């Protein structure tokens, strides 16, 4: 069951006594979000780009900022990337994902920026009116400017049109990592990994930590999608897990749990690989559904909200930064810079410069 | 040993509706389901359309049950908390040949007493459905074809049976049985069940159940798979109504339709296969479906796919419903209930109870039956997250709350499997397919199901 007490209103997150552990807390001194009718800037998402934007805004003298996070824990995807390298560019330190996420949140709270977790934006209306829901209150807030920093997610199995049934044991890196790092559970023990992007090697790292032994890594193209040092690292990490290039997954086998996959190599030869899971990695797609269901213009090719060079959306009250506009995906450090730029631009517009 | 008036074999939509009808008529009922939850067979994958019966075989039992089902659903949906999306449908002709066949479809509809049909020309179609490809030629508008929730409806039916004294036994396949001259004694791994009447609603396994107990079956199930592609909610605005093709003899063809959950779908195919439980999809077919969808609705090309799935229809050697069994000894089999089953179930339930009451007049209908409500999952009605006190949102894509999940795990018909939980709440069924919520869901359902989402570690 949930270890945390249910917050009775959307509350700002605060540091607890250790000054390190961050969690969606209960009592807050700041007024509840639903009492707030207006604010200068609403930032949707507390990943690297959202936090960088908030800090940049604060630095530029904007104080009335609200960061909304739908998850219970703030920090975004780095929370469950339990490995380095994070933070080199922005904090000049070599950190793991969770350390990096904690440091970001710490900086945010030290700047006295209001952060509300478990608060989900349900609709974007024109001119910066935001509809949200939190466990004990639905409401609206009118912002002068809104920044979409909703990030990205991997493409799961279904849109890839992979043949086969629907046994248990099919997931993406994000699912595996959040299951393992946040809940200490694993969905399989001997999966095949589909893809060889950077995130695929992050998945390999997680597998090694979780005691999961992948049976193979499959790459459709004839070479891995990352430079060789990473691939070499992958080889070491994978403890003998072969990288099969030019190889596609044809069919997923198994009734209750995955029992194997049918693969086809570059010569058209098919063979069965026994495994108990399929880990689909990468093929990132922007988490832009809020924008897609709103009045904002969407770039049909990438699915990202359309932005101009300043990061402005088709409605000038809206901006977007980070992975929601960096299709297909970029690293946390680049998202940080993207958020910073958007923050500075918003600050310029708000102060009429 | 359990004793009952009516034993119902199979927890698909037909079995659930029959259980409800018999319970409301005052019979003691036990529903026996082989899986850990309801809707594990044919009923888990259908098109979720409430049909008018405009294209049913005239004067058939199917036509009669579809009409009754359509009517009764509208009477009961509000009190049971079941959604109804009044989309209407159009049968669209895309070429000259199909256009020529429209008149036949129209006349059949009139014969079937669906008297509000209207012919539409190209301009009228495009005025109602501006995103359809300009190559449309003509259509028949069927205003009372609607969209419903294919999973909460049967759940509500069985829940009403259970709330009014009925029982449901899961993991209870009927493996054999005999008639002792007065009653049926059915064998299941959960023990023996003694029943005066048996209604076999075992769908894809209907013939096998008849064979196991009666020693013979009057029909053979010929499983027919239908694959579907589900598009993102962003695609929902592309159509207003259900877009049907001009039907062929064998199948209603590939349909474009909105779902009650705010998505848009393309499907189904009609593929004969031997397996009764292999609901696998295949890449070629899915690509074909997407292509067909895009041909009818060009803007689909840029729409993300949310998921794909397949359903299996319990077709038989003949197109009509197969009502058989051993009526002399009070065994009735409702076989061959295919795609119209979701609508027809309520009508079939009345028909089945009619077969029983012909033999026995001893049941007294309940005067004031309990009317349970099922939680709303429809996108056009207020969802749980709009009401305070929901705890947290566990599945962000489908906006499923912890309160909804915990409620689905409790009560008189708790989810018996992960699949059952998904159908009751929609968790993991959205665009990320579990990227965000699987971890939390695995935690919330730990030790609940035989097949858990996650385990605690791997043996080195």
Can you spell out the DSSP letters for A80-140?
A: G--SS-BSHHHHSS-B-HHHHHHHHHHHHHHTT-EEESS-EEEEEETTTEEEEEETTEEEE
**pLDDT, position A19:** 33
- CA dihedral (B79, B83, B87, B93) positive or negative: negative
Per the CB < 8 A criterion, the answer to whether B418 and B449 are in contact is yes
Put simply, the answer to whether B438 touches A175 (Cβ < 8 Å) is yes
Q: Is A154 on the interface with B (CB under 8 A)?
A: yes
Give domain status of residue B52, yes or no. no
B454 touches chain A (CB under 8 A): yes
Same domain? For B399 and B256 the reply is no
The CATH number for B190's domain is 3.50.50.60
- Kindly determine whether residue B443 and residue A137, on different chains, have CB atoms separated by under 8 Å: no
Interface list for A 253-292 with B (CB within 8 A) = 255-257, 285, 287, 289, 292
Looking at the complex, does the CB of residue A111 fall below 8 Å from at least one CB of chain B? no
Of A135-139, B342-346, B447-451, give the range with the top mean pLDDT.
B342-346
Per-residue pLDDT tens digits for A123-134: 999 999 999 999
CA dihedral A326, A332, A334, A335 (to 10 degrees): 50
CB atoms within 10 A of CB A178: 25
Say whether both B139 and B230 belong to one domain: yes
Domain A156-280 class?
alpha beta
Same domain, B117 and B227: yes
Q: State whether A156 and B391 contact (CB < 8 Å).
A: no
Q: Which of B286, B290, B439 sits opposite A182 (nearest CB)?
A: B439
Count CB pairs under 8 A between chains A and B. Answer: 150
**Cross-chain CB nearest to B435 (options A164, A175, A211):** A175
| B443 interaction partners in chain A (CB closer than 8 Å) | 183, 185
With CB atoms and an 8 Å threshold, state whether A72 touches B392: yes
Cβ of A130 under 8 Å from any chain B Cβ?
no
Domain contains B81: no
B110, part of any domain: yes
Q: What are phi and psi of B360, to 5 degrees?
A: -155, 130
Residues B289 and B232 in one domain: yes
Question: Is B460 among the domain residues?
Answer: no
Which residues of chain B lie closer than 8 angstroms to A158, CB-CB?
Answer: 230, 305-308, 433
Beta bridge partner(s), residue A160: none
B234 contacts A183? CB cut-off 8 A: no
Residue B54 belongs to a domain: no
CA-nearest of B16, B8, B11, B157 to B73 is B157
Chain A contact for B287, CB < 8 A?
A: yes
A179/B460 touch (CB, cutoff 8 Å), yes or no: no
Cis upstream peptide for A81 (omega within 30°): no
The answer to whether position B459 is within a domain reads: no
CB-nearest partner of B438 from A120, A171, A184? A171
- Residues from chain A that touch B441, judged by Cβ atoms under 8 A, are none
Residues of B in contact with A215 (CB under 8 A): none
CATH class, domain A14-153+284-350, is alpha beta
Contacts of A175 in chain B (CB under 8 A): 434-435, 438-439
Looking at the fold, whether B351 and B294 belong to one and the same domain comes out as no
Six-digit token string for A113: 């920026």
Contact assignment for B453 to A168 by CB distance below 8 Å: yes
Q: What angle do CA B223, B224, B229 make, to 5 degrees?
A: 135
Please count the structural domains in chain B: 3
Contact A293 B440 (CB under 8 A): no
Q: Which of B315, B336, B369 is the last residue of a domain?
A: B315
Per residue in B51-75, is it b (16+ CB within 10 Å) or e — as a string?
bbbbbbeeeebbbbbbbbbbebbee
Please tell me the distance from the alpha carbon of residue B322 to that of residue B320, in angstroms, as a whole number: 6
CA distance A43 to A66: 6
Residue with tokens 């004294």: B165
Count, in order, helices (H) and strands (E) of chain B: 11, 21
Query: In B280-423, where do the E strands start and end?
Result: 305-315, 322-326, 331-335, 393-395, 400-401
By C-alpha distance, the chain A residue nearest B308 is A158
Complex prediction ipTM: 0.89
Over residues B66-95, the mean pLDDT reads: 98
How many C-beta atoms lie closer than 10 Å to residue B448's C-beta? 15
Query: In chain B, which among 406-435 make CB contacts under 8 A with chain A?
Result: 418, 431-435
Measured distance CA(B337)–CA(B329) in Å, rounded = 23
B289/B332 same-domain check: no
In angstroms, the separation between the Cα of residue B133 and the nearest Cα of chain A is: 18
Interface test with A, best of B278, B395, B433 (most A CBs within 10 A): B433
pLDDT in tens, chain A (353 residues): 333 333 333 445 543 333 333 344 332 333 467 677 899 999 999 999 999 999 999 999 999 999 999 998 899 999 988 888 899 999 999 999 999 999 999 999 999 999 999 999 999 999 999 999 999 889 999 999 999 999 999 999 999 999 999 999 999 999 999 899 888 899 999 999 999 988 998 899 899 999 999 999 999 998 877 765 566 666 666 667 888 999 999 999 998 899 999 999 999 999 999 999 999 999 999 999 999 999 999 998 899 999 999 999 999 999 999 999 998 888 899 999 999 999 999 999 999 86
Contact A117, A69 (CB under 8 A): yes
Residue recorded with tokens 């629907």: A166
Sequence-distant (6+) residues with CB within 8 A of A43 are: A50, A53, A54, A65, A66, A67, A68, A146, A147, A149
Residues B250 and B348 in one domain: no
A302 near B CB under 8 A: no
Give bridge partners of residue A319 from the DSSP assignment: A147, A312
pLDDT at A27: 29
∠ Cα B337 B37 B222 (to 5°): 30
Domain-located, residue B77: no
Closest listed residue to residue A146, CA positions, set A53, A77, A78? A53
pLDDT recorded at residue B458: 86
**Residue B242 near residue B350, CB atoms below 8 Å:** no
Q: What percent of chain B has pLDDT over 70?
A: 99
- B131 and B112 within one domain: yes
Q: Which of B265, B392, B394, B451 to mutate to test the interface with A (most CBs of A within 10 A)?
A: B392
Query: Residue A235 has what pLDDT?
Result: 63
Q: What is the pLDDT of residue A239?
A: 66
Chain A hits for B271, Cβ within 8 Å: none
Out of B283, B304, B458, name the one closest to residue A186 (CB): B458
- Examine residue B374 and state whether it is found in any structural domain, yes or no: no
**Which two structure tokens, joined as six digits, stand for A263?**
């693969």
Contact A318, A114 (CB under 8 A): no
Say how many Å lie between the first and final Cα of chain A, rounded: 51
**B332 and B428 together in one domain:** no
Tell me the mean pLDDT in the region B406-430.
Answer: 95
A350: distance to nearest CA of chain B, Å? 32
Q: At residue B305, does pLDDT exceed 80?
A: yes
Of A1, A136, A257, the CB nearest to B389: A136
Q: How many Cβ atoms from other residues are within 10 Å of residue A55's Cβ?
A: 22
Structural domain including B415 reads: 384-444
Residues B243 and B98 in one domain: yes
Among A39-53, B250-264, B369-383, name the one with the lowest average pLDDT: B250-264
The answer to whether A159 faces chain B, any CB pair under 8 Å, is yes
C-alpha distances (whole Å) from B296 to each of B89, B93, B243, B305, B397 are 15, 11, 9, 16, 27
B417 to chain A: closest CA residue: A256
Name the domain boundary from B326, B344, B359. Answer: B359
User: Beta strands A216-219 and A191-194: pairing type?
Assistant: parallel
Q: Report A:192-221 residues touching B (Cβ under 8 A).
A: 210-213
B283 pLDDT band, cuts 50/70/90, is: very high
Going from N- to C-terminal start, the domains of chain A cover: 14-153+284-350, 156-280
Q: What pLDDT score does A114 carry?
A: 93
Tell me, yes or no, if the two domains A14-153+284-350 and A156-280 fold the same way: yes
| B137-154 tens-digit pLDDT | 999 999 999 999 999 999
Q: What is the mean pLDDT of residues B97-104?
A: 94
Distance CA B297, CA B293 (A): 6
* Per-residue pLDDT, A30: 37
Considering the domain architecture, whether residues B254 and B304 belong to the same structural domain is answered as yes
Contact yes or no for B438 and A210 at CB 8 A: no
Note whether B270 and B171 are same-domain residues. Answer: no
Q: Identify the CA nearest to A146 among candidates A67, A232, A256, A211.
A: A67
Binding-face residues of B in 304-343 toward A, CB within 8 A = 304-309
pLDDT of residue B250: 64
* Contact indicator for A149, A42 with CB cutoff of 8 Å: no
Q: What is the mean pLDDT of residues B269-285?
A: 95
**pLDDT score for A8:** 34
B302 → closest Cβ in A153, A255, A300: A300
**Mean per-residue pLDDT for B180-195?**
97
């Amino acid at each position: 069951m949930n270890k945390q007490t249910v917050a009775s209103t959307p509350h700002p997150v605060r540091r607890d006594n250790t000054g390190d552990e961050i969690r969606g807390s209960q009592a807050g001194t700041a007024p509840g979000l639903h009492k707030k009718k207006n604010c200068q800037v609403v930032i949707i998402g507390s990943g690297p780009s959202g936090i960088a934007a908030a800090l940049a805004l604060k630095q530029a003298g904007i104080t009335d900022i609200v960061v909304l996070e739908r998850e219970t824990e703030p920090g975004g995807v780095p929370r469950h990337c339990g490995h380095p390298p994070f933070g080199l560019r922005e904090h000049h330190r070599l950190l793991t994902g969770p350390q990096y996420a904690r440091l970001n949140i710490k900086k945010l709270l030290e700047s006295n920026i209001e952060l509300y977790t478990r608060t989900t934006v349900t609709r974007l209306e024109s001119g910066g009116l935001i509809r949200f829901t939190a466990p004990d209150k639905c409401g609206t807030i009118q912002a002068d400017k809104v920044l979409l920093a909703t990030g990205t997610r991997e493409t799961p199995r279904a849109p890839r049109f992979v043949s086969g049934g629907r046994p248990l044991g099919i997931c993406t890196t994000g699912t595996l990592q959040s299951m393992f790092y946040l809940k200490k559970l694993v969905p399989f023990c001997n999966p095949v990994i589909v893809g060889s992007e950077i995130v695929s090697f992050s998945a390999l790292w997680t597998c090694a930590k979780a005691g999961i032994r992948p049976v193979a890594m499959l790459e459709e193209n004839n070479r891995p999608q990352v430079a060789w040092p990473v691939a070499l690292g992958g080889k070491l990490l994978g403890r003998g897990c072969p990288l099969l290039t030019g190889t596609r997954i044809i069919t997923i086998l198994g009734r209750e749990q995955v029992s194997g996959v049918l693969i086809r190599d570059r010569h058209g030869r098919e063979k069965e690989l026994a495994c108990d899971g399929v880990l689909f990695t990468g093929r990132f797609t922007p988490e832009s559904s809020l924008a897609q269901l709103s009045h904002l213009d969407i770039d049909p090719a990438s699915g990202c909200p359309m932005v101009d060079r300043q990061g402005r959306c088709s409605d000038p009250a809206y901006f977007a930064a980070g992975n929601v506009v960096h299709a297909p995906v970029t690293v946390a450090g680049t998202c940080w810079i993207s958020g910073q730029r958007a923050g500075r631009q918003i600050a310029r517009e708000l102060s009429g410069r | 040993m359990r004793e009952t008036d009516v034993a119902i074999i199979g927890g698909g939509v037909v079995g659930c509706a029959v259980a409800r009808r018999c319970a409301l008529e005052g019979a003691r009922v036990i529903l026996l389901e082989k899986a850990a939850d309801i809707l594990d067979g044919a009923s888990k994958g259908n098109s979720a359309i409430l049909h008018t019966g405009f294209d049913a075989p005239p004067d058939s039992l199917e036509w009669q049950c579809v009409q009754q089902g359509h009517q009764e659903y509208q009477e009961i949906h509000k009190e049971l908390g079941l959604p109804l999306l009044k989309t209407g449908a159009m049968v669209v002709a895309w070429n000259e040949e199909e256009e020529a066949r429209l008149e036949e479809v129209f006349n059949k509809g009139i014969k079937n007493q669906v008297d509000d049909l209207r012919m539409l020309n190209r301009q009228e179609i495009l005025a109602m459905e501006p995103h359809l490809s300009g190559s449309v030629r003509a259509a028949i508008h069927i205003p009372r074809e609607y969209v419903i929730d294919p999973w909460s409806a049967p759940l509500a039916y069985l829940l009403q049976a259970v709330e009014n004294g009925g029982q449901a036994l899961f993991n209870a396949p009927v493996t054999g049985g005999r008639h002792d001259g007065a009653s049926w004694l059915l064998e299941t791994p959960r023990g023996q069940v003694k029943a005066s009447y048996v209604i076999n609603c075992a769908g894809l396994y209907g013939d096998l159940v008849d064979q196991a107990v009666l020693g013979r079956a009057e029909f053979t199930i010929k499983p027919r798979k239908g694959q579907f592609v589900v598009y993102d909610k962003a695609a929902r605005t592309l159509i207003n109504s259900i877009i049907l093709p001009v039907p062929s003899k064998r199948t209603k063809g590939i349909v474009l339709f909105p779902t009650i959950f705010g998505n848009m779908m393309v499907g189904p195919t009609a593929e004969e296969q031997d397996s009764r439980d292999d609901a696998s999809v295949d890449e070629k077919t899915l690509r074909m479906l997407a292509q067909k969808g895009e041909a009818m609705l060009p803007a689909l090309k840029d729409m993300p796919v949310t998921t794909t799935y397949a359903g299996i229809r319990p077709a038989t050697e003949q197109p009509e419903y197969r009502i058989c069994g051993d009526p002399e000894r009070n065994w009735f089999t409702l076989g061959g209930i295919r795609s119209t089953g979701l609508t027809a179930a309520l009508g079939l339930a009345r028909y089945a109870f009619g077969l029983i009451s012909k033999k026995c007049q001893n049941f007294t209908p309940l005067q004031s039956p309990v009317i349970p409500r099922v939680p709303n999952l429809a996108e056009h009605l207020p969802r749980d997250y709009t009401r305070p006190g929901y705890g947290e949102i566990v599945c962000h894509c489908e906006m499923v709350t912890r309160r909804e999940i915990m409620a689905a795990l409790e009560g008189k018909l708790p989810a018996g499997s992960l699949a059952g939980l998904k159908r009751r709440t929609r968790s993991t069924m959205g665009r990320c397919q579990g990227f965000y919520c699987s971890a939390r869901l695995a935690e919330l359902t730990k030790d609940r199901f035989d097949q858990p989402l996650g385990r605690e570690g791997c043996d080195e």
